[in-house]
Structure 1
């Protein structure tokens, strides 16, 4: 299963990506826009979860709901993210290959269009890098 080192390695391998602290936890950004981040659950979230939680940008609410329906053991949400295009990932329950795909897709959503096109032209598509 995936670890924070896997997240860091996958994210930082994507063009023009950097890591910074956001709310005291790591977040990975492309051109200043976060696409994945450490999202520990708080008491105010009203949910107890063991293990590391990764926040991931997705295209829209429909994609988020489809991911949750497809694999609720890995993907979930909380009321804080209602109406927001992000899904939460139980990092210790996702395989590294699937993590690579999810992180790359999130990067593609936030990267400038030209950068994303250049990346796709130089790879075999999402998750290939």
Structure 2
């Protein structure tokens, strides 16, 4: 299963990606636009999910739209989920300790492609 080191390695291997702290937790961005981030659950999130405490690390990931978010959740609800805070927002949460590294790499790369400038994304895709 994936770790924060896997997230860091995958994200920072993508062109022009940087890491910074946002609200005290790591966020990875391409040219200043965030695409994946550590997203600890708040009390209101825990209440909405009906759980007492967070179980394992949570990664926030940008997705293309609500349809993609719903499809990921429907396909693997043990890994992907959302909270009311993200209603109407193109992002999904994933349980990092329940996702394999190859799938994590795919999800992080897709998120990067969404936020990277068009020419940078095209150049990356042409090389891979």
* TM bracket (short chain): over 0.9
Cα distance between partner residues in 2 of 1:42 and 1:117 = 37
Is 2:105 aligned against 1:100? yes
Cα distance between partner residues in 1 of 2:23 and 2:44 = 15
Paired residue for 2:4?
4
Count of residue pairs the alignment pairs up: 123
Q: CA RMSD in A?
A: 0.6
For structure 1, which runs of at least 5 residues remain unmatched after alignment? 124-129
More helix by share: 2
Paired residue for 2:127?
122
> How many angstroms does 1:44 deviate by?
1.8
Cα distance between partner residues in 1 of 2:30 and 2:44 = 29
Cα distance between partner residues in 2 of 1:102 and 1:24 = 23
Q: What's the TM-score, normalizing by structure 2?
A: 0.95
> How many angstroms does 1:55 deviate by?
0.1
Is 2:61 aligned against 1:73? no
Paired residue for 2:19?
19
User: Which of 25, 37, 52 pairs up with 2:57?
Assistant: 52
For structure 2, which runs of at least 5 residues remain unmatched after alignment? none
